[in-house]
Amino acid sequence: MTNIQIGIAFLFLLTKPLHGQEDTLKCKMFIDSLTNKEYYRSADTMPEYPGGKMEMVKFFMSNFNYLEPEATGKIIIEFTVNKEGRLENFKILRSLIEILDNEAIRVMKSMPNWKPGKCGDEKVDVKLIVPWIIRLE
């Protein structure tokens, strides 16, 4: 029987905001150079999985399906939580094994909508980075 252990930590990239684009002390708006869409790296209210981080880990663990023996390492995924709370624009920043990377993204795409990020009272798109620590024994 395969034992799956999965850990998580949230990272937020430290990047410089565009000149004159700070809405509040925490809100820092950027423009995606490919899509020309606005997004934030930090917000007054950060996006949140329904029930919090522990519920997200439970969801991930119960939906992650792969039997590769002795796979251990970290998959780092960047994604956007849009204004409606949907997850989109997934990007692997650190790969473990392609099939495990794809499975991690599949599970994240199947997550319920999150509580969206807010700057003041306005809902905004927020980019997040999640490192999943995978240990299949």
Read off the tokens for 99.
């099939």
Whether 52 and 63 have beta carbons less than 8 Å apart is answered as no
Neighbours of 7 (CB within 10 A): 12
pLDDT in tens, 48-107: 999 999 999 999 999 998 766 677 899 999 999 999 999 999 999 999 989 899 999 999
Average confidence (pLDDT) over 9-37:
61
Domains annotated for the chain, with CATH where assigned, are: 4-136 (3.30.1150)
Residue-wise pLDDT for 108-130, tens only, equals: 999 999 999 999 999 999 999 99
What is the pTM for the complete model shown?
0.79
C-alpha 38/C-alpha 65 separation (Å) is 34
Q: What is the pLDDT of residue 78?
A: 96
Supply 38's token pair: 């606005």
For residues 29-42, give the mean pLDDT. Answer: 89
Long-range contacts of 34-38 (CB under 8 A, 24+ apart): 37/125, 38/124, 38/125
